[in-house]
Amino acid sequence: MRNNILAGLALAAAAFAAPAQAEDWSAHLDACAAAAEAQGVVTAGEYKAKFLTGSGGSMKRISLELIPTAGETIKAECKVKRGNVKELTIKV
């Protein structure tokens, strides 16, 4: 019985610890979208940024789609370090 209680507590602790380590990709996505606006790739307020994939340690690599209200979807890859966009590449 005691082992079941300890196992349950360990499982609960692991379940609550997992979300604390989750990455906040939305902040990185917003930074990439702002960089795309600054470079004139998209017009502010006329597109939606969609997160595709993300990876990396201190330098985050994010694949995203910039979906305009009218026109074709633009695929891009963005590198972000400490909240600053270091590189934005438009895929053709």
Domains of the chain: 23-91 (3.10.450)
- Give tens-digit pLDDT for 46-63: 999 999 999 999 999 999
Per-residue confidence (pLDDT) for residue 74, from 0 to 100:
95
- pLDDT averaged over every residue in the chain: 83
- Residue 81 near residue 60 (C-beta atoms within 8 A): yes
Per-residue confidence (pLDDT) for residue 4, from 0 to 100:
58
Range 61-68 average pLDDT: 96
This prediction has a pTM of 0.71
> If you write DSSP's letter for every residue of 54-90 in order, what string do you get?
EE-SSEEEEEEEEEESSS--EEEEEEEETTEEEEEEE
- Give tens-digit pLDDT for 14-31: 455 444 445 689 999 999
67 by Cβ neighbours in 10 Å (0-12 / 13-18 / 19+) ranks as middle
Enter the DSSP assignment of 39. T
